[in-house]
Structure 1
Amino acid sequence: MRLVKLLANLGYGSRKEMQLAIRNGWVTDRDGNRLKPDSKTAHEDVLFDDEPLDPAQGVVLLLNKPVGYTCSTKDHGRLVYDLLPDRFRTRKPALSSIGRLDKETSGLLLFTDDGTFLHKVISPKSNVPKVYELALDRPLKGDEAALFASGEMMLESEDRPLKPAQLEVLDDTTARLTLHEGRYHQVRRMFAATGNHVAQLRRSRIGALGLEGLAEGEWKALSDNEKAKIFA
């Protein structure tokens, strides 16, 4: 791919703007040599304004989402994309979240521009577990774990039962729940069906991938080994 197209696809600007950037010497290799539009320099060796390029196509990002941000590109208010560099909004292919967390849910959120990878993560065949930490308004009654694990629980307005889910009770009002599917507001609806209300909700893990070392609001690109943990 020509350098001008590569930079434009990464969201640094239009092709015309990238031609100007190259002409002005803002695009170099790691030795400081100016690059030309047809330079064959490897992606990892290209610098834009003395900074390494953003990850190439096929990237998977991990974000520690704070409460108050919406998983959308169009809604009003604070969006998860506000926590990423502005240019990420105009990458081609587009960067999409892998599933969603509602506005009042925090924790682990993935993004990718790789449609095949996205569908692999969310496919029922992959059976990727998702772990949530939660706090409830009222004490647990004691029968929730058996109900969630039964594979017979039905949510209102749905016509098929939930897959078995594992509930680990931490104390009277806090618990850890592991799901193997991702229905709309599933955790909140499950507890609502038992007469309780989820006051705080955080996704802490997808597969064997967690948020270790990543502060709230921070993001990073995943290595191949980290991506593999999703399916571990």
Structure 2
Amino acid sequence: MPALKRLDQLLSNLGYCSRKEVRYLLKDKRVTVQGQYANSPALKVAPETVLVDGEVLDTPEGILVMLNKPLGYVCSHDSAEGMRIYDLLPARWESRNPKIVSVGRLDKDTTGLILVTDNTQLVHQLTSPKHHVDKLYEVTVDRPLQPDIIDAFAQGVVLGDGAEQCLPAKVEIISENIANVTLNEGKYHQVRRMFAACGYHVEALHRHQFGPFSLQDLMQGEWQAVTLPC
């Protein structure tokens, strides 16, 4: 049987209010436990027995969502950096503890799949270089792609001044200026830098897949809850 939690701690961790503010929810009879109005912040409860304003608690088991990131959004909590991916998600989630974070990042000029979670262990599992999680990108470049780029990526592109070499990656040329690229690293601006090292400028970059997750029909700006495949 799962351990019971203090009501004030539970509601605070899920972003409903601070622990001190729970008493106001109780005073206004907005919280019930097993169908009865709660009268003590210290009450030990099972999350599935608690309702706030007649609604079940918002994902008490934790958050894992897949978001189709639009162009111009940043994977940052700092609103000074511009439009944030977190602005596309329920506002309450940013008050949760643990805090929600993106699994890796996509830069402002990249669109596509980004995962958001409050599970720090999962973040490590999906981003650690030790786990070699594949990511699939659609890349549009500024000039016709030459077949030799397939071998260049397969051998491991050398970046910048030659001090850094990427692991082998797979390129599939889709049309004159578009290719699919599969890699399992996460270096800074890696896809753009790999193509630049081969003499191409990336004009558009979109991530379709991240490990076992795929965008499929998810529209830009939309998100959906997902679970890890067994």
**Shared fold per TM-score greater than 0.5:** yes
Whether the 8 Å CA contact 2:71–2:109 is kept in 1: the answer is yes
1:98 aligns with 103
The one-letter amino acid of 2:94's match is R
1:4 aligns with 8
Q: Which of 15, 18, 38 in structure 2 is aligned with 1:35?
A: 38
Question: Which 5+ residue runs of structure 1 have no aligned equivalent?
Answer: none
- Name the SS for the 2:164 alignment partner: coil
- Name the SS for the 1:13 alignment partner: coil
Q: How many correspondences in the alignment? A: 224
> Under a length normalisation based on structure 2, what TM-score does the superposition of the two structures give?
0.89
CA–CA distance in structure 2, aligned partners of residues 185 and 2 of structure 1? 44
Q: What are the within-5 Å matches in structure 2 for residues 184-203 of structure 1?
A: 184-203=188-207
Question: Which 5+ residue runs of structure 2 have no aligned equivalent?
Answer: none
Q: What are the within-5 Å matches in structure 2 for residues 172-211 of structure 1?
A: 172-211=176-215
CA–CA distance in structure 1, aligned partners of residues 222 and 56 of structure 2? 19
Q: Deviation per CA, 1:99-133: give whole Å up to 9, x if none.
A: 10000111111122222211111112211100011
Name the % identity: 46
Q: Deviation per CA, 1:16-62: give whole Å up to 9, x if none.
A: 22221122121235x75423434454323432223332222643222
What CA RMSD, in Å, does the superposition of the two structures yield over aligned residues? 2.0
Higher strand share: 2
> Under a length normalisation based on structure 1, what TM-score does the superposition of the two structures give?
0.88
2:132 aligns with 127
CA–CA distance in structure 1, aligned partners of residues 94 and 162 of structure 2? 34
Question: Aligned pair in 2 of structure 1 residues 157, 93: CA closer, same or farther (>3 Å)?
Answer: farther
- Name the SS for the 1:175 alignment partner: strand
CA–CA distance in structure 2, aligned partners of residues 206 and 147 of structure 1? 23
Q: Deviation per CA, 1:154-212: give whole Å up to 9, x if none.
A: 11156331011001111111111101101111111111112211111111111221123
